[in-house]
Amino acid sequence: MSEGSFFVKKNNDGCFQLKQRVHVMLFEAFKLIFETSRKIDTEKGLYNQFSVSSKADIQKVINFFSFSGHHPLVGLKGIQYLKWLTDLRNSSRYATQPTGAGNLNFPQ
């Protein structure tokens, strides 16, 4: 099973990361699901890691977890996701601009 992490770095970049023991095909599937060409990192030959942080990729993560109709995150992971969304909303990087440009589409 893969562990997903939602966090905001010190520079205010929102990040989503998946990490687990090496399973190349699973991580290639993550790239397809999140429609990205991001490189899959391998740590010590034991773990794969998939990370995204661009605004476009963060929006894809939000779309997947909030707007796709999939079963919602529950328990601690659901709480972490909701906190992450709040942190993103409060971040100057993702704040509403008068032009509406560059904003993320958050769930209500």
- For 71, the token pair is 């079963």
CATH of 3-92, one of 1.10.630.10, 3.10.28.10, 3.20.20.140, 2.40.70.10: 3.10.28.10
Q: Residues 43, 45, 47, 48: is their CA dihedral positive or negative?
A: positive
Quote the pLDDT of residue 95: 67
Which one is predicted more confidently, 100 or 18?
Answer: 18
Q: Could you tell me the residue ranges of all domains in the chain? A: 3-92
Quote the pLDDT of residue 2: 62
For the entire predicted model, the pTM comes to 0.85
Q: Which tens digits make up the pLDDT trace of 37-87?
A: 888 999 898 999 999 999 999 999 999 999 988 888 999 999 999 999 999
